[in-house]
Every structure is written in C-alpha cells, then in structure tokens.
Structure 1
Amino acid sequence: MQYFTADTHFFHERLLGVSEFAPRPFLTVEDMNETIIRNWNKRVNQNDVVYHLGDIAILHTRPEKNALEQIFEVLRQLNGRLILIKGNHDSRALFKYLAQHNYQVNNHPKFEFHDVGVLIKMNHRQYYLTHYPMMLGIVKQIINLHGHIHHYAVPVKENINVGVDTPEVDYLAQKPPFGTPFSQVEVEKMVEQKAIDFAKRQ
C-alpha cells in the first residue's frame, strides 16, 4: 500500500498549544511525537510505502549530531519505507545522516531521498508529489499533492494538501486520527470531493 503525509514537524515546540500557524493540542513534543508514531503505525505496516512530502522535524539541539540522532530514532519507529521529499525545514545534513544510517526493510532501503518531487500514477491519474504547492496550470489528470501550508488549502481543485494539519481532511466522511498518513483511497476521495465543491461554486 501507498500512503501520503507531510509536515510532521517532530520536536517542533513552537507548534504546541496556541500557535498562529499550525496549533497542535499537545503539552509536550514527546506527547506530539508519540501520538504521530502511534497513529502512523496503527495504519502503516512494514511492507507499505509512505511518501513524506517534507518538513520531517525541527530540532535545534547542539551539537547538531545529537539532533540528527534523535530525529533518526523517531523515524526508525515508523512502520514502512519512507520516500522523503525535501521540505524547507529539512536540512542537507539530515538527509546525509539518514543516508549514512540507511538500512534494509524487506530488501528495500528504509529511506529514499528526493530534492524536488516525485511523479507517480494511481488509477489513471498522475500525482506530482512536492513539498511546496505547485501551480501547474490547466493540465488534465495531474494532481499536485503537497504540504508546507499546514492548516491552509490552495484555492485550486487540482492541489491537495496532505499534511498532518490539512483542512482538506474535511472532505473525508471519517477523519483519520492526527498524524495518520492518508491512504490512496482517502487521497482520491479528497480529489473527488474538492472538485465537486469547486463545481458548486461556478
């Protein structure tokens, strides 16, 4: 199975409580991290692939190696293989550290790395997976899955925010628990419902 997520922001203290950008109802980063890990692993198994569309974690512990080790330990607890698309808060040092400590999961590397984006095909549509929302213009059957904007949505029906804070989860009849990566079925439902929503506005 394939899953999609973004903007986990593990360890990011400024998002706790009353944050203007992406308020999260946790008292500590440990509670936030554990909630995401728990909800992620309830859905994803070790044979699955999760596309993480950037902003994995923010941790400014010094020396930097200590921060990288802590982030790596969190990612080791997440089920599945992680295809990582670089976000604005993902350092080159983090990707380098993960590459140096990569390991095999069912004969595949745990981590795969992409600087800009990935193009995949699901059910007769192409999905361009990026961190930043992309304005692709009028293109048939191409949907941009992205993160970056947290609890905002791009007012374009071909752009779907799959971050953990996305308001587009409202297009689903049943909202998955916080931090749960979205399934292919849920992504397709968001695409379908957003198109219907926009058609009503014409």
Structure 2
Amino acid sequence: MRFGDTIDVIDGKRVWFISDMHFGHRNIIQWCRPEFRNLKEMHQRIVSNWNFVVGRYDRVFCLGDFGDFRLFRKLKGKITLAKGNHDNKQWSKQYVLNYRGMKFLVLHDPDSMATNWFDGDWIIHGHTHINSPFIDIRRKRVNVSVEVINYTPITMEEIYHIIQESKNYRDNRPVR
C-alpha cells in the first residue's frame, strides 16, 4: 500500500481495531498482564472476547504483534494485519482510513518515522501497551493495545464517538 491510498469505511459498527495480542509470548504476562496465570488463560480471554463482539463478516484491523499465527483460524472476521515489531510476516505497515469526514492513520508504532507524512486527523495505533493512554487528546492518538481496551476489539464507530465527546474534555482517557 502506498502512503496516499485510503480505505473508505462505510459502516463503522462493523470495523474493529485491536493490537498487541502477543499470542504465545510467555514474558508478556509478567511484563504487563499480571491478571493471567498462564498463556492458555490469556489466549482464551482474548479469543473469547474477540469472537463475542466481532461478526463473521466484520473487518478487524489487527495493528501488530499478533504472535503465534496458529490462533488466527480461531478468530472471527476478515482480519487485516499491520506489521508490528514482533511480527515476522510481511504484512503492510499502515493504512489510511476515511470515516465520517475524518482521516485516520492506522499502524503499529505511533512514534515511527512512518507517521511524519500524515496530515490527517487521528492516529490509531498499538505498540505502547499500558505506557500511553487510550485517548491522547493532545497528540490525537487512540491506543488500541489489548491492555487498555480490556482485551476486546473496539469499533470505528465507538472510537469516532469517543473522539467527538473528548472535545469537551481537557484530559486524556487512560483506559476504555
């Protein structure tokens, strides 16, 4: 995908975002997921939450650090993958989405040089886990790392409404 290419989102209730599942990554539990006793428990929660909200024909943008690809077949939806720093596969690194008159850059690492060209409205990203807020009003960023979205994908429509509502506030939102 070239930088100027865009995807027009028609139904924001059927387009989802999630990042940093780290399936199969044992150390992630001790680093930032102490609520899980083991990988099996973590995998079950993420897959269950995902399949509870995502429909079979919905589109899911997974913004990097997917992990063990064997879990891919267990997940509902048409999954579009963006490459993260822990991914070995050669997926696209970023996407530009238009929704309700707004332009979103969708990628893994919001601090990468790949964002310098972007002149749109907001960046939807992962990579930062719990080290950045869910909504960063000043930087116009939405963090969809699993830890800040309760291990459950979030829709484009929900993100849009939260951004609109955030115009009334001066502070960031730490979690969804």
**What is aligned with 2:103?**
126
Q: Choose which of 128, 134, 146 in structure 2 pairs with 1:149.
A: 128
Q: Choose which of 36, 39, 58 in structure 2 pairs with 1:26.
A: 36
Q: Give me the whole-angstrom Cα distance separating, in 1, the residues matched to 2:118 and 2:95.
A: 19
Q: CA RMSD in A?
A: 2.4
**What is aligned with 1:64?**
none
> When the two structures are superposed, what TM-score results if normalisation uses the length of structure 2?
0.77
**What is aligned with 2:143?**
161
Q: Give me the whole-angstrom Cα distance separating, in 1, the residues matched to 2:86 and 2:18.
A: 15
Q: Which runs of 5+ in 1 are unaligned?
A: 58-70, 96-112, 170-177
**4+ runs of 1 displaced by more than 6 Å?**
none
**What is aligned with 2:47?**
37
Q: Is 1:5 matched up with 2:18?
A: yes
Q: Report the identity percentage.
A: 25
Q: CA deviation at 1:145?
A: 0.4
Q: Report if the CA contact (8 A) 1:128-1:144 is conserved.
A: yes
> When the two structures are superposed, what TM-score results if normalisation uses the length of structure 1?
0.68
State the structure with more CA Rg: 1
Q: Which runs of 5+ in 2 are unaligned?
A: 1-13
**What is aligned with 1:72?**
69
Q: Is 1:52 matched up with 2:34?
A: no
Q: Give me the whole-angstrom Cα distance separating, in 1, the residues matched to 2:15 and 2:145.
A: 15
What secondary structure, in the 3-state scheme, does the structure 2 residue paired with 1:151 have? helix
Count of aligned positions: 153
